[in-house]
Amino acid sequence: MAGYVVVGTQWGDEGKGKVVDLLGKHVDMVVRYQGGNNAGHTVVVNGKKTVLHLLPSGILNKDALCVIGPGVVLNPFVLFEEVEALEKEGLQCDHLRISDRTQLLMPYHVRLDELIEARGGKYKVGTTKNGIGPCYADKYSRIGIRVCDLQDWNVFEEKLKSTLEIKNAEIEKVYGGEPFDYDEIVAQFKGIREKMLPMICDSVSLVNEALENDKVVLFEGAQANMLDINYGTYPFVTSSSPTSAGVLEGAGVPPQSLTRIIGVAKAYSTRVGEGPYITELLGDEGEALRQKGFEFGATTGRPRRCGWLDLPVVKQAVRINGLTDIAMTKIDILTGYDKIPVCVGYELDGKQIDYVPASLEVYGRCKPVWKVFDGWTEDISQIRNYEDLPENCRKYVEFVEEYTKTSVSLVSVSPEREGNIIRKPLI
């Protein structure tokens, strides 16, 4: 079976959208398996930029069926905004399918996310305020509403009535917020339901049949390992499993269907939102890297925190995901630095460690252990052969390979679909 996975190895925004899109021509199906419209995946084709939040990044390729899987939390209003924006530009989205098991992200989830974040102080996670956490919380509390519930309007109304009672009480009594009017939500969903019905499918059959028939299926991760609910810097994480393990539960496919697991790693690092970040550059240095790398959130527009490459973080992703390959992105942004530090371990209470500790108090005591690389000055964005890269740039790539014991099979040198050095074909 030919299942390929693309996941983030750091804190998101590594360039997963670009990698999924560039593999598009080899792929029969692209499946989103977790997260929701907290994701912002950028695809650049012939200078034209498209940012996708819920639509799989294979959508620009008409020949690939795009599936929103059961593990996703789906805000249908955002989905159809995206669909309609693409259709205005002449791309019909009739190759989009939605799993009947997908959770619906409701208007009250968005409000709750805003209210919970507004408490501020130590409670603030710096979420995208798109309702992701509250929607997953309802899923696991078993009061979520699923896409299949829309297929039987009576079931939808009944579930909405009982869940809204609980949610309105929480909004009003716990957080002092404005409750929702049942009839208003019903009216909104009546409209969106008509658009959704033709796209709803039993994704378990659809995706597994594709795999059984040797079709190439690409599973597109959102967020990244350090934002994982189990392995990230909890509680400064998202509420799903962006890992390769997340594919199995979020897309409903067997472990043996995953042939290659590609981790996308930015050549430096960025993070949006709160939480520990050992290699962060503060002040002018951070600002300079942010400007150089255009590091502003694709979903919220927030400035991304920037810093040097943290290899214990990437190694953690190699282990947890079972990465077979690394796709290194944005190494072109490092052009012009005289010296490039890379974190190769943490010093903790006088000892060196190379893993990410669970406790944030312990992680807070970790200091980076640096290895400093010499930089290069050449513009590398037009280079397509690995041997043509400056020697110091190659040394940087090869050190990552050596440290992680994982092949850096693709080196991306520009945002464009074609801006890559392919060392080993990924598909």
Distance CA 349, CA 371 (A): 20
Q: Give min distance, CB of 304 to ligand GDP, in A.
A: 9
Does 12 help bind ligand IMO (rule: CB under 6 A)? yes
Cα distances (Å, whole numbers) of residue 277 to 156, 267, 309: 43, 16, 11
Does 412 help bind ligand IMO (rule: CB under 6 A)? no
Query: Which of 2, 68, 73, 132 is the binder for ligand IMO (CB under 6 A)?
Result: 132
Binding site residues, ligand GDP, CB under 6 A? 8, 12-18, 40-42, 44, 298, 329-330, 332-333, 412-415
Distance CA 265, CA 396 (A): 13
Does 222 help bind ligand IMO (rule: CB under 6 A)? yes
Q: Give min distance, CB of 17 to ligand IMO, in A.
A: 7
Q: Give min distance, CB of 128 to ligand IMO, in A.
A: 3
Q: Give min distance, CB of 394 to Mg ion, in A.
A: 28
Binding site residues, Mg ion, CB under 5 A? 13, 40, 298
Compare residues 13 and 28 and give the one whose CB is closer to Mg ion.
13
> The tokens of 40 are what?
């912002």
Cβ atoms < 10 Å from Cβ of 314:
25
Residue least distant from ligand GDP (Cβ): 42
Query: Which of 50, 102, 128, 257 is the binder for ligand IMO (CB under 6 A)?
Result: 128
User: Mask of contacts with ligand IMO, 68-107, x by CB under 6 A?
Assistant: ----------------------------------------
Binders in 312-371 for ligand IMO, by CB under 6 A: none
Sign of dihedral through CA atoms 206, 216, 30, 14?
positive
Mark the segment that binds ligand IMO (CB under 6 A) among 119-127, 202-210, 339-347, 371-379. Answer: 119-127
Cβ atoms < 10 Å from Cβ of 341:
17
Which of 274, 262, 279 has the alpha carbon at shortest distance from 313? 279
Cβ 34 vs Cβ 250: under 8 Å? yes
Distance of CA 158 to the CA centre of its chain: 33
Q: Give min distance, CB of 66 to ligand IMO, in A.
A: 16
Q: Cite the active site residues.
A: 13, 41
Compare residues 12 and 70 and give the one whose CB is closer to ligand GDP.
12
Cβ 167 vs Cβ 108: under 8 Å? yes
Query: Which of 45, 51, 126, 386 is the binder for ligand IMO (CB under 6 A)?
Result: 126
Which of 12, 10, 18 has the alpha carbon at shortest distance from 42? 18
User: Which among ligand GDP, ligand IMO, Mg ion, none contacts residue 136 (Cβ within 5 to 8 A by kind)?
Assistant: none
**Residue carrying structure tokens 């404005």:** 178
Residue least distant from ligand IMO (Cβ): 273
Query: Which of 223, 225, 257, 329 is the binder for ligand IMO (CB under 6 A)?
Result: 223
Binders in 34-73 for ligand IMO, by CB under 6 A: 38-41
User: Which among Mg ion, ligand GDP, ligand IMO, none contacts residue 126 (Cβ within 5 to 8 A by kind)?
Assistant: ligand IMO
Distance CA 65, CA 80 (A): 17
Compare residues 35 and 40 and give the one whose CB is closer to Mg ion.
40
Q: Give min distance, CB of 298 to Mg ion, in A.
A: 4
Compare residues 273 and 312 and give the one whose CB is closer to ligand IMO.
273
Mark the segment that binds ligand IMO (CB under 6 A) among 72-80, 129-137, 247-255, 286-294. Answer: 129-137
Q: Give min distance, CB of 89 to ligand IMO, in A.
A: 21
The residues that touch ligand IMO, with contacts defined as CB under 6 A, are: 8, 11-13, 38-41, 125-128, 130, 132-133, 222-224, 227, 238-239, 272-273, 298
